[in-house]
């Protein structure tokens, strides 16, 4: 799923608090569910916890119904509805507020770094400088440890190689009664009698070949003895280097690459701490100026919200009267608070369903049915404004009936922004321009779940409305009533 956040700065600001930043205003959501039951969620191509994906959905998708998770229950969403209705003036100022707040945060972090306890800062600097010097002076190379281990094994084997090679040469060719001499004597004896038997001639040739092999082996062994004597200094140097690398690995990482990565982090941290303390007054002044700018923008945004709230409240009350709530009072309370990226206002909807009762927080006093009607009124107002409401995806499922159900029907049929809805009341179902039927055909267990969506014909619409009226057993009376309800629409 791809979400376009360019028109919803309040949603983008809320997601940034979760560490989620849209790429060029777009957010890419992906979730894979595997056959064994496991699943994997990704946001902008990167793995993300399912809880974060769920929060993204809560910020963007509003399920309308009588449930605790609907948008109006969460008062922090109220400011988003108000800003969405106000439109461009609020959104443009909100962007400026978010940028100014981000700048304030950056300056505040720099100032906190400067004001860090001087002793603690010096201790950190000493430690970091020592680590930098230790790693830089050692200058480890990736893969060096394994290379040195192989080199040390070879150096340590030189003595035994030389000793054993010299002993082998003595037995093969150099000592008295060596293998070569013994073969030569045996060959001389066999040659004196070789003419008497063909097999003896063949034996003489084999002895000549053996003497040649002994000479060839001796040359190879002599080459090993001439590589030089054991160099204790070289062994000590390699062993010391290995010991140094072991100490670095024990402190900073299991591989030379990890040690070098730690060096990069040390250098970055040093660059943050080794600042000129004379910068403190300049940063203080810049922060004060930025905070003043942020407060000014927040006041500007508050004025825009309060000005827009008056007409917004009147429009919502008018919609509530259309839903048989003639005595309902709807008001938007805007109270100041500490500024952040969404402004400096606590926005909360107040509601009273009965005449003479004071308006109180909607999320605390309204019943499920009342919240449903207020939600519908809000959506009608937002859609009538000419823009899309925020959150961006909507699904209707309001439990209202009787007179309010009949009054709601034309609003459902309106094209002012109502996207989809489940209709279970005939007075509401007959107002739509068309009906679609959803079915879930069963197939082999290996086949993916399939949902079929089909637009109903005129006769099928009559049958469906009649089924809502009568239940499973549809009689002529129910069909006649359905035709009457759908008159002029089929």
Q: How large is the average pLDDT for residues 204-230?
A: 83
Assigned domain for 214 exists? yes
Q: Which of the 8 DSSP states describes residue 213?
A: H
Say yes or no to pLDDT of 26 above 50: yes
Say yes or no to pLDDT of 67 above 50: no
The burial of 111, by beta-carbon neighbours within 10 Å (0-12 exposed, 13-18 middle, 19 or more buried), is given as middle
Assigned domain for 28 exists? yes
Q: Looking at residue 330, what is its pLDDT?
A: 94
Q: How large is the average pLDDT for residues 233-250?
A: 91
Buried b (16+ CB within 10 A) or exposed e, 218-249: beebbeebeeeeeeeeeeeebeebeeebeebb
Tens of pLDDT along 344-366? 999 999 998 888 888 888 877 76
Q: Looking at residue 448, what is its pLDDT?
A: 57
Domain end point (choices 63, 95, 111): 63
Per the CB < 8 A criterion, the answer to whether 189 and 200 are in contact is: no
How much is the mean pLDDT over the chain? Answer: 80
> Which residues contact residue 186 at a Cβ distance below 8 angstroms, ignoring those fewer than 6 apart?
207
Q: Looking at residue 64, what is its pLDDT?
A: 45
Domain end point (choices 18, 36, 63): 63
Say yes or no to pLDDT of 128 above 60: yes
SS3 419: coil
CA dist list (Å): 158 to 122, 154, 163, 238:
51, 7, 9, 15
**Rounded Cα gap, residues 23 and 29, in angstroms:** 12
Tens of pLDDT along 406-422? 444 454 444 444 444 44
Number of CB atoms found within 10 A of residue 159's CB:
11
Assigned domain for 114 exists? no
Assigned domain for 232 exists? yes
Biggest alpha carbon distance in the chain?
142
* pTM, 2 dp: 0.45
Assigned domain for 262 exists? no
pLDDT band at 13 (very low <50, low <70, confident <90, very high): low
Q: Looking at residue 59, what is its pLDDT?
A: 66
Q: How large is the average pLDDT for residues 188-195?
A: 88
Give the chain's domain count: 3
Say yes or no to pLDDT of 484 above 90: no
Q: Which residue has the higher pLDDT, 444 or 482?
A: 482
pLDDT band at 490 (very low <50, low <70, confident <90, very high): low
Say yes or no to pLDDT of 282 above 50: yes
Tens of pLDDT along 286-308? 999 999 999 999 999 999 999 99
Domain end point (choices 222, 245, 268): 245
In this structure, the strands spanning 26-33 and 2-4 are antiparallel
Which of 93-97, 103-107, 181-185, 191-195: highest mean pLDDT? Answer: 93-97
Assigned domain for 372 exists? no
End-to-end CA distance of the chain: 35
Assigned domain for 325 exists? no
Domain that holds residue 37: 1-63
Assigned domain for 78 exists? no
Per the CB < 8 A criterion, the answer to whether 58 and 64 are in contact is: no
**Rounded Cα gap, residues 185 and 164, in angstroms:** 26
């Amino acid at each position: 799923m791809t979400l376009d956040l360019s028109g919803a700065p309040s949603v983008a600001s809320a997601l940034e608090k979760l560490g989620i930043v849209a790429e060029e205003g777009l957010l890419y959501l992906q979730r894979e569910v595997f056959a064994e039951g496991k699943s994997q969620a990704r946001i902008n191509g990167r793995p993300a916890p399912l809880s974060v994906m769920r929060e993204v959905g809560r910020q963007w998708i509003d399920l309308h119904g009588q449930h605790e998770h609907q948008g109006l229950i969460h008062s922090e969403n109220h400011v988003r509805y108000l800003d969405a209705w106000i439109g461009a003036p609020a959104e443009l100022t909100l962007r400026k507020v978010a940028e100014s707040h981000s700048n304030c945060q950056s300056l505040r972090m720099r100032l906190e770094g400067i004001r860090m306890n001087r002793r603690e800062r010096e201790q950190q600097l000493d430690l970091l400088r020592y680590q930098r010097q230790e790693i830089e002076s050692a200058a480890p190379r990736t893969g060096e440890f394994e290379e040195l281990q192989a080199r040390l094994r070879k150096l340590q084997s030189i003595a035994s190689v030389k000793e054993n090679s010299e002993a082998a040469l003595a037995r093969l060719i150099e000592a008295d009664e060596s293998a070569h001499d013994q073969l030569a004597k045996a060959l001389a004896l066999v040659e004196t009698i070789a003419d008497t038997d063909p097999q003896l001639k063949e034996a003489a040739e084999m002895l000549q070949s053996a003497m040649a092999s002994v000479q060839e082996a001796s040359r190879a062994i002599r080459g090993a003895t001439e590589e030089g004597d054991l160099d204790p200094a070289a062994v000590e140097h390699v062993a010391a280097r290995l010991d140094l690398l072991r100490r670095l690995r024990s402190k900073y990482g299991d591989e030379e690459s990890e040690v070098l990565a730690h060096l990069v982090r040390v250098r970055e941290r040093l660059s943050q701490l080794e600042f000129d303390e004379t910068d403190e007054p300049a940063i203080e002044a810049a922060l004060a100026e930025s905070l003043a700018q942020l407060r000014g923008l927040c006041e500007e945004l508050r004025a825009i919200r309060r000005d827009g709230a008056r007409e917004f409240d009147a429009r919502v009350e008018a919609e509530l009267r259309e839903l048989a709530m003639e005595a309902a009072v709807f008001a938007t309370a805007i109270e100041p608070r500490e500024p952040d990226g969404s402004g400096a206002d606590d926005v909360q909807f107040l509601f009273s369903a009965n005449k003479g009762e004071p308006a109180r927080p909607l999320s605390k006093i309204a019943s499920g049915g009342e919240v449903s009607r207020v939600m519908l009124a809000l959506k009608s107002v937002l859609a009538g404004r000419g823009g899309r409401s925020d959150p961006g995806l909507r699904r209707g499922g309001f439990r209202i009936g009787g007179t309010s159900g009949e009054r709601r029907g034309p609003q459902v049929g309106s094209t002012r922004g109502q996207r989809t809805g489940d209709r279970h009341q005939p007075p509401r179902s007959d107002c739509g321009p068309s009906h679609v039927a959803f079915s879930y055909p069963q197939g082999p267990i290996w086949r993916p779940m399939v949902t079929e969506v089909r637009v109903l014909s005129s006769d099928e619409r009559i049958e469906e409305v009649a089924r809502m009226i009568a239940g499973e057993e549809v009689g002529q009376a129910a069909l006649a009533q359905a035709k009457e309800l759908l008159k002029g629409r089929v």
